[in-house]
Amino acid sequence: MKKHLKRVALGIVALLVLAGVGFGIFVGVQTSAFDASMAKVYDQKPLDAIARSSDPAVIARGKHLAESVAGCTSKDCHGADLAGGNTLAMGPLGKLTGPNITSKGLGGVYTDGELARAIRHGIKKDGRSALFMPSQDFNWMPDSDLVAVVSYLRAAPGVDKANGPMEFRWLGKVLDRQDKFVADVARRIDHAHVAIAPPPSPTAEYGKYLAKGCTGCHGERLSGGRIPGTPSSLPVPLNLTPHESGMKGWTYEDLDKLLTTGVRKNGKQLDPFMPIEPYKGLDETEKKALFAYLSGLAPLPFGGR
Ligand code: HEC
C-alpha cells in the first residue's frame, strides 16, 4: 500500500514538472514571437503629405479630436499638457506611461509626416511598432483630421519633462500574442487598406468609427467583461449592447447624461476608470452617432468581450 502511494505521489510530481516545463516552453515561444514582431521594421513611409497648418479653425478641430475623440490628452495617456501621462501600474503586465509629445519631448524629434504615420499606422520614428498606443482605435481619421491633430500638437507649448517607465513583462506579451490585450499595435493594422470614416454625421455609420475608442475596454464586440490580465481592483467594463444585461431600454438622453455627468441610467456614479473627461467634450453629432451605433448592435450577453 505504502509503495503504491509513493508511486502515485511520484507520478503527480512528474506530471507537475512536465506541465511546468510545457508552460515554460509556451511562454518562451510566445515572448520571443512578441519580441520579434516588435523588432520588425515596417515598409510604411511617413505620411509626408500631412503638414501642419496655423489656421485657428484647423487647430481648434485638432484640439477637439485630441481631447475628446482620440483622448490623447487623457490623464492616463499623454496628459492635459501632452507632456506625458500617469504611469499605469498594470500588476503582472508591467508599467506603461504615455510619453511627452510636446516640442521638448518626442514631438521635437518627429516630423509632421512621422507623427501622422504614428497616428494612422502605429509606427514609431524608427519604423517599428508603437507599444500600447491605441492607433488601431482612431486611425480612421481622414487626412484633414490628421492635419488638424498634428497642427494642434505643434501649437501646444513645449514642456521639459522626462518620459515615465515602460516595462512590459512576459504575461503581457503572452496575452498580446493570444489577442487578449493589444500592445503590439502595428501588427493589428492592415497598412495597405486603412478604413477611413465618412464625414461626421449623427448616424450609426459614423458612430461605428467613434465606438472603436470604446473597444479597448468594453471589448471588440462591446459586450464587456474583465480586461484579461488586469487585477481585480480594476472595475469591469460593462455591456454596451442592447441586451438586458447591457443597455436595453437606454435612450439617447440616458447616454448623453452618462457621457456628460458620469451618472448611469440606474442613478449610480460611474467608476472614474471609465474616462468621462474626454467624452464630456464630444459634440452632439458624435454622441448621437454613438447612440445610433450602440442601440443598433445585436444584443449580446455580458462578458463575451
Ligand atoms: C479605459 C476604459 C474604458 C473606455 C475607453 C470606455 N469605457 Fe465605458 N466603462 C468602463 C468601465 C470600467 C465601466 C464600468 C464602471 C462602473 O462600474 O462604474 C464603464 C461603463 C460604461 C457605461 C455604463 C453602462 C451601464 O450599464 O451603466 C457606458 C454606457 C459606457 N461605459 C460607455 C462607453 C462608451 C460609449 C465608450 C467609448 C466612447 C466607453 N464607455 C469607453 C471603461 C471604459
Q: How far is ligand 1, taken at its centre, from the CA of residue 273, in Å? A: 8
The CATH class, in words, for 204-295 is: mainly alpha
Which of the four pLDDT bands, split at 50, 70 and 90, describes residue 7? confident
pLDDT, position 1: 60
Burial label, 67 (beta-carbon count in 10 A; 0-12, 13-18, 19+):
buried
In 3-state terms, the chain is what percent helix, strand and coil (to 5)?
A: 45, 5, 50
- Cβ of 62 below 6 Å from ligand 1: no
**Is the per-residue pLDDT at 272 higher than 90?**
no
Window from 146-155, 166-175, 286-295 with minimum mean pLDDT? 166-175
Percentage of the residues of the chain whose pLDDT score is greater than 70: 100
User: From atom 21 of ligand 1, which residue's Cα is the shortest distance away?
Assistant: 238
CA 165 and chain centroid, separation = 18
pLDDT digits (tens, 9 = 90+) for 216-241: 899 999 999 998 877 788 899 999 99
Which of the four pLDDT bands, split at 50, 70 and 90, describes residue 289? very high
- Cβ of 287 below 6 Å from ligand 1: no
Q: How far is ligand 1, taken at its centre, from the CA of residue 175, in Å? A: 22
What whole-number distance in Å separates Cα of residue 222 and Cα of residue 302?
A: 9
Q: How far is ligand 1, taken at its centre, from the CA of residue 60, in Å? A: 27
Greater model confidence, 57 or 228: 57
- Cβ of 216 below 6 Å from ligand 1: yes
Q: How far is ligand 1, taken at its centre, from the CA of residue 270, in Å? A: 8
User: From atom 2 of ligand 1, which residue's Cα is the shortest distance away?
Assistant: 217
pLDDT digits (tens, 9 = 90+) for 196-215: 999 999 999 999 999 999 99
pTM for this model (two decimals): 0.91
